[in-house]
Structure 1
Amino acid sequence: MDRYSFLRELADSWVLLLLVVFFLGTIVFAFRPGSRPLHRDAAESIFRNETKPASAGEKEVE
Structure 2
Amino acid sequence: MNTAQYEALRQFADSWGLLYMMAIFVVVVLLIIRPGAKSLAQSAARIPLDDDFPLDRTDKR
Q: Same fold by TM-score, threshold 0.5 exceeded?
A: yes
Measured against aligned partners, the alpha-carbon deviations of 1:1-21 in whole angstroms (never above 9, x if no partner) come to 810110011011011111111
How many residue pairs align between the two structures? 51
Q: Which ranges of structure 1 fall in alignment gaps of 5 or more residues?
A: 57-62
Instruction: Tell me the CA shift for residue 44 of structure 1.
Output: 2.8
- 1:2–1:55: structure 2 CA closer, same or farther, 3 Å change rule? closer
Identity of aligned residues (%): 31
> Residues 33 and 2 (structure 1 numbering): CA distance in 2 closer, same or farther, change over 3 Å?
same
Greater than 6 Å deviation, 4+ residue runs:
none
Structure 2 unaligned regions, length at least 5: 56-61
Residue 12 (1) aligns with residue 39 (2):
no
Structure whose residues are more often helix by fraction: 2
> Could you tell me how far apart the structure 2 residues matched to 1:28 and 1:10 are?
27
Q: In angstroms, what is the RMSD of aligned CA positions?
A: 2.2
What is the correspondence of 1:1-62 to structure 2 with a 5 Å cutoff?
2-45=4-47, 46=49, 48=50, 55=54
Compare 7-16 and 29-38 and name the one that shifted more.
29-38
